[in-house]
């Protein structure tokens, strides 16, 4: 059996469910691909699709999704809480059973070249596919956002592929290869986004906080509340339980309660076992003690 590859594209649409369902249908229609999850957020105006399969099929599905998103999303009118560079903001490829990071880097490069050629869109490579160390971190590439990217394209943000001009409706796109990450949000019982931003700054690695953690603070609506939004780049370095404790402690110090956590997309089984070990003090909990664990490699 050929190796499996996961793809987790983030598209800049989270307010039109029928459009997102269309994107999911495009992915699921590709032979050899299994659509694993679709998660949307109207405040962020963003959806995350997770699919997996053999490399060639996943590559085809990613290109089909990009084409579908470019038909439906116009960045000139896009508004949302989450930073983004384009209609399809980021397309990461993740090695699963039987595949390697090197293979995913090669897929990322092929997909990036194909997108640039077919859609005349600037392409940036990140994480393990980055062409320079400065391109390794997604937040560094995405910092100017769609609205500010053009002014930097002659200096810090010259694209790796495609034209040195932002496409008016598609924007730009970031493509890469990375290990599995966990996208995890914690909502606070306050509408004061300053508290969420302070907590996010305190816990993210780039500011001296928790290792392998990226974090931002956002303001959400319906009902109004603040959110600490995080990416755990390596759950074996900083676990979900550790992140929860840190956010809860800092929120409590600010006189605010934690409302709930939110998992975006999927997480590895081992990460969930880590939560159970920490929360229930099951220090010796093993995968083989979970029924389904006997059927998973």
- Considering 82, 119, 157, 235, which one is annotated as catalytic? 82
125 token code pair? 């490579």
Residue range(s) occupied by CATH 3.30.990.10 in the chain:
4-177
Domain 4-177 falls in which CATH fold? Answer: Formiminotransferase-cyclodeaminase; Chain B, domain 1 (3.30.990)
For residue 292, the model assigns a pLDDT of 79
pLDDT digits (tens, 9 = 90+) for 24-72: 999 999 999 999 999 999 999 999 999 999 999 999 999 999 999 999 9
Tell me, what's the pLDDT at 145?
98
Res. 222: pLDDT tops 90: no
Helix (H), strand (E) counts: the chain: 8, 11
In angstroms, how far is CA 23 from the centroid of its own chain?
Answer: 17
Cα–Cα distances in Å, from 230 out to 3, 87, 187, 213, 238?
Answer: 29, 21, 11, 7, 12
pLDDT at 287: 87
DSSP state of 86: B
Across the chain, what does the average pLDDT equal?
95
Distance CA 135, CA 200 (A): 22
**Fold for domain 182-295?**
Alpha-Beta Plaits (3.30.70)
- Any idea what DSSP says for residue 127? E
How confident is residue 97, by pLDDT bands cut at 50, 70 and 90? confident
**Residue 224 phi, psi dihedral angles, 5° rounding:** -65, 130
> b/e map of 50-66 (b: 16 or more CB within 10 Å)?
bbbbbbebbbbbbbbbb
Tens of pLDDT along 102-156? 999 999 999 999 999 999 999 999 999 999 999 999 999 999 999 999 999 999 9
| Whether residue 294 has pLDDT greater than 90 | no
Q: Which residues, in sequence order, are bridge partners of residue 10?
A: 48, 90
DSSP per-residue letters across 140-201: HHHTTHHHHHGGGTTTTT--SBS-SS-BTTTB-EEEEE----EEEEEEES-S-HHHHHHHHH
- Measure the CA–CA gap between 292 and 279, rounded to whole angstroms: 20
82 flagged as catalytic: yes
Residues of the chain with CATH 3.30.70.670: 182-295
Predicted pLDDT of residue 297: 62
């Amino acid at each position: 059996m050929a190796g499996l590859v996961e793809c987790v594209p983030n598209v800049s649409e989270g307010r039109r469910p029928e459009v997102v369902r269309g994107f999911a249908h495009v992915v699921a229609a590709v032979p050899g691909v299994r659509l694993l999850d679709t998660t949307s957020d109207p405040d962020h105006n963003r959806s995350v699709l997770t699919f997996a399969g053999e490399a060639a099929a996943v590559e085809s599905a990613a290109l089909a999704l990009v084409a579908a998103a470019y038909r439906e999303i116009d960045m000139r009118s896009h508004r949302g809480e989450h930073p983004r560079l384009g209609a399809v903001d980021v397309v990461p490829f993740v090695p699963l059973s039987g595949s390697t990071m090197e293979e995913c880097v090669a897929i990322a490069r092929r997909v990036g070249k194909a997108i640039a050629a077919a859609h005349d869109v600037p392409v940036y490579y990140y994480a393990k596919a980055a062409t320079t160390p400065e391109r390794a971190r997604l937040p560094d590439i995405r910092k100017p956002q769609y609205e500010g990217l053009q002014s930097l394209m002659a200096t810090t943000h010259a694209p790796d592929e495609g034209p040195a001009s932002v496409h008016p409706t598609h924007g730009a796109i970031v493509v890469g290869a990375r290990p599995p990450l966990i996208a995890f949000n914690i909502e606070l019982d306050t509408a004061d986004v300053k508290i969420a931003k302070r907590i996010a700054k305190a816990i993210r690695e780039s500011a001296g906080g928790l290792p392998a953690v990226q974090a931002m603070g956002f303001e959400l609506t319906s009902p109004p509340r603040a959110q600490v939004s995080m990416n755990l780049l390596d759950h074996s370095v900083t676990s979900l339980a550790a992140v929860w404790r840190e956010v809860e402690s800092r929120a409590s110090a600010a006189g605010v309660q934690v409302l709930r956590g939110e998992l975006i997309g999927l997480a590895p089984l081992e990460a969930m076992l880590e939560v159970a070990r920490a929360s229930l003090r099951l220090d010796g909990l093993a995968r083989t003690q979970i029924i389904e664990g006997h059927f998973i490699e």
